[in-house]
Amino acid sequence: MSALAPAEFTPETVYLNTASYGLPSARALTAVRDANAQWAAGRSTPIEYDHLVPDLRAGFARLLAGAVADDIALGSTVAGLIGPLAVALPPGAEVLLADGEFSSVSWPFVHRDDLEVRFAPLERLAEEVRPETALVAVSVVQSKDGRVADLPALRAATRAHNARLLIDATQATGWLPLRFADADYWVCAAYKWLIGARSVAFFAAAPEAIANIRPLGPGWYAAAGGRAELYDPIALAASTRRFDATPDWLGVIAARAGLSLIEELTVDKIGAHNLELADRFRTGARALGYEPVPRRSAIVAIPDAGDAAPIALERAGIVVSVRGGNLRVSFHLYNDTTDVDRTLDALPKR
């Protein structure tokens, strides 16, 4: 199996670490370089690329089937976008989280001392929702080991108990098909599977889900009338756009370029590609005596792989990561079967 867009990527390593940071496409690098050159020449400034923001907003909406551009706000971090949701909860509200959840999802709630925060195993999260639960927050694909949450079950459980559902799609958007209606709130960083920029993150919510939620420290970019309302106290945007932070326009350029490639290739095609490579690696790792987490995902985690495995891979020019005691390997559109086989050849036998 070949890489899906070989002309867009030129890694000098076997790069299997998209779960930490995606590689930039050639089109993104070219667009950012050209914008920087114009800026350095005094012929433009980054803010002049603000006209790209609506297209970026709409592009992310298309990845959440059923969403529209007005449902999307731009920020810079997942935790920052979750902040208004955490603040809006009344004292004593119960928040249900998955065991081992990524800190950007859990910390906004854990570090608010007057909430009741409860953790449960990912596989039992839906059955742990109860009448007291105000909000369930979970990554649809777990950062530590690649397990995929059962969104339909979680949605049914939260609706049955009148709870809200917050999904972090950072490790999923770009290879896993997602439906806007499957959660009340969505957050996603652009720099992993969306091969975008570290400075761009998305928040998505329908109007009824944010009716009583207000942004923290809104700036001019969240105003109802946009740039025309820079000085006078003016109403915030009525849509989800009121949660906008002033964007890093160079990041917008990179993120938009990344999204364009994802859309050209399609999430379905990328997902099938990534899963086939991950399956091949998982099978090969078992033959070497390892026991990968038995969940089908673009992320493959090997618990208790030991210190020798990551050292051997690094020496062979193979870039992976270690998370929560797991050797973590992740596959994306720029990987191919040669990458899998080289990694298996370099992995020490157990």
Q: What is the pTM of this model?
A: 0.96
Separation CA 123–CA 147 (nearest Å)? 9
Same domain, 49 and 136: yes
The amino acid that residue 226 corresponds to is G
Show the tokens assigned to 148. 């995929």
Q: Output the 3-class SS for 40-109.
A: HCCCCCHHHHHHHHHHHHHHHHHHEECCCHHHEEEECCHHHHHHHHHHHCCCCCEEEEECCCCHHHHHHH
Task: Tell me: do 91 and 132 sit in the same domain.
Answer: yes
Note whether 127 and 154 are within 8 A (CB). no
54 is a domain residue: yes
How long is the chain? 350
In terms of domains, do 204 and 134 share one? yes
Instruction: Please report, for the domain that includes residue 175, its CATH number.
Output: 3.40.640.10
Question: What domain range is 335 assigned to?
Answer: 6-23+267-346
> 193 and 117 in one domain?
yes
For the stretch 49-97, pLDDT in tens is 999 999 999 999 999 999 999 999 999 999 999 999 999 999 999 999 9
Buried b (16+ CB within 10 A) or exposed e, 65-77: eebbbbbbbbbbb
Q: Are residues 178 and 323 in the same domain?
A: no
Do 145 and 55 fall into the same domain? yes
Is the confidence at residue 274, as pLDDT, over 80? yes
Backbone angles phi, psi at 25, to 5 degrees: -80, 160
Q: Check: CB of residue 18 under 8 Å from CB of residue 330.
A: yes
Question: What confidence category does residue 226 fall into, taking pLDDT thresholds of 50, 70 and 90?
Answer: low
Phi, psi of 107 (to 5 degrees): -65, -35
* Residue 319, amino acid: V
Cα 336 from Cα 277, distance rounded (Å): 7
Which of 230, 264, 298 terminates a domain? The answer is 264
For residue 174, what is the DSSP state? T
State residue 101 phi and psi, 5-degree precision. Answer: -65, 150
Q: Residue 153 is which amino acid?
A: A
> HSE of 300 in the Cβ direction (CA atoms, 13 Å)?
26
Q: How confident is the model at residue 231 (pLDDT cuts 50, 70, 90)?
A: confident
Which structure tokens are listed for 1?
A: 């199996």
Q: Which of 50-64, 217-231, 234-248, 254-268 has the lowest mean pLDDT?
A: 217-231
pLDDT over 90 percentage in the chain: 94
Tell me 21's DSSP state: -
For 116-175, the pLDDT digits (tens) are 999 999 999 999 999 999 999 999 999 999 999 999 999 999 999 999 999 999 999 999
Q: Is residue 278 in a domain?
A: yes
For residue 229, is it within any domain? yes
Decide which of 264, 297, 322 is a domain's last residue: 264
Q: Please indicate, yes or no, whether residues 62 and 126 belong to a single structural domain of this protein.
A: yes
User: Are 67 and 98 found together in one domain?
Assistant: yes
Contacts of 206 (CB under 8 A, 6+ apart): 71, 180, 184, 240
pLDDT tier, 256 (very low <50, low <70, confident <90, very high otherwise): very high
Higher pLDDT, 284 or 230: 284
pLDDT at 230 over 90: no
Question: Do both 133 and 56 map to the same domain?
Answer: yes
List of residues 6+ apart from 58 with CB closer than 8 A: 68, 69, 72
| Domain end point (choices 249, 264, 279) | 264
Dihedrals phi, psi of 238, to nearest 5 degrees: -75, -25
Assigned domain for 45 exists:
yes
122 and 46, same structural domain?
yes
Per residue in 8-48, pLDDT tens? 999 999 999 999 999 999 999 999 999 999 999 999 999 99
Q: What is the average pLDDT value for the chain, to the nearest integer?
A: 96
The answer, yes or no, to whether residue 309 has pLDDT greater than 70, is yes
Side chain identity at residue 138, one-letter code = V
Q: How far apart are CA 130 and CA 343, in angstroms?
A: 44
Domain count, the chain: 2
Instruction: Report how far residue 169's alpha carbon sits from residue 174's, in angstroms, rounded to the nearest whole number.
Output: 9
In a domain, residue 130? The reply is yes
pLDDT at residue 227 above 70? no
Residue 251 lies in a domain: yes
Are 203 and 326 in the same domain? no
State residue 306's pLDDT score. Answer: 87
The domain that holds 326 is classified in CATH as 3.90.1150.10
Please give the backbone phi and psi of residue 65, each rounded to the nearest 5 degrees, phi first: -55, 125
Q: Residue 64 and residue 73: Cα distance in Å, rounded?
A: 13
**Domain check: are 181 and 328 in the same one?**
no
Gyration radius from the chain CA atoms: 21
Task: Give, for 275, the enclosing helix (H) or strand (E).
Answer: helix 267-287
Is residue 1 domain-resident?
Answer: no
Within a domain: residue 247?
yes
